[in-house]
């Protein structure tokens, strides 16, 4: 299960997708929209992506994780469009025979996803204004290109 979606992320569906009787561990990480970033209040987030490349990169990352750790199954789901406060924008799940490998693989996947996958986040602030963010590609800038 590697996908981009505009629908809300269903954590139970993702858990079931990576479930395996050979595995004693499932790690499911959900990244959610928080109300405050530093001292700034967030109204909502909007995600956009270069979808063909993002899908391809997520598939490559899943394959790399499975080659690096004894991961039985892997899921990466990233939401696009508007994501309100409290809702999940990204899910990474892995199953493995043992918890340490599952935790390490899930953490590595999330870090690489943020670094390499062409998905951009636009933060809409309660006090007005917006910022585009992609931690791996460029620093945060407002709509006028000011850092």
Burial label, 69 (beta-carbon count in 10 A; 0-12, 13-18, 19+): buried
- Each residue's pLDDT tens digit, 49-64: 999 999 999 999 999 9
* pLDDT number for residue 147: 37
* pLDDT number for residue 38: 87
Query: Would you list the domain boundaries of the chain?
Result: 2-128
Three-state SS at 122: strand
16 token code pair: 């079931």
* pLDDT number for residue 7: 98
- Each residue's pLDDT tens digit, 26-52: 999 999 999 998 889 999 999 999 999
User: What CATH number belongs to 2-128?
Assistant: 3.90.1170.40
Q: What residues are paired with 67 via a beta bridge?
A: none
- Each residue's pLDDT tens digit, 95-145: 999 999 999 999 999 999 999 999 999 999 999 999 998 666 544 444 434
pTM over 0.85: yes
């Amino acid at each position: 299960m590697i996908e981009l979606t505009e629908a809300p992320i269903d954590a139970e569906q993702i858990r079931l997708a990576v479930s395996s009787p050979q595995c004693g561990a499932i790690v499911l990480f959900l990244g959610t929209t928080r109300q405050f970033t530093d001292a700034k209040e967030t109204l909502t987030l909007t995600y956009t992506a270069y979808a063909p490349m993002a899908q391809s990169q997520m598939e490559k990352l899943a394959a790399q994780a499975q080659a690096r750790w004894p991961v039985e199954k892997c899921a990466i789901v990233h939401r696009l469009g508007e994501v309100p406060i409290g809702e999940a924008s990204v899910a990474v799940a892995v199953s493995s025979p043992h918890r340490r490998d599952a935790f390490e693989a899930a953490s590595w996947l999330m870090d690489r996803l943020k670094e390499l996958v062409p998905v951009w986040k636009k933060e809409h602030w309660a006090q007005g204004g917006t910022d585009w963010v992609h931690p791996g590609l460029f620093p945060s800038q407002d709509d006028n290109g000011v850092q």
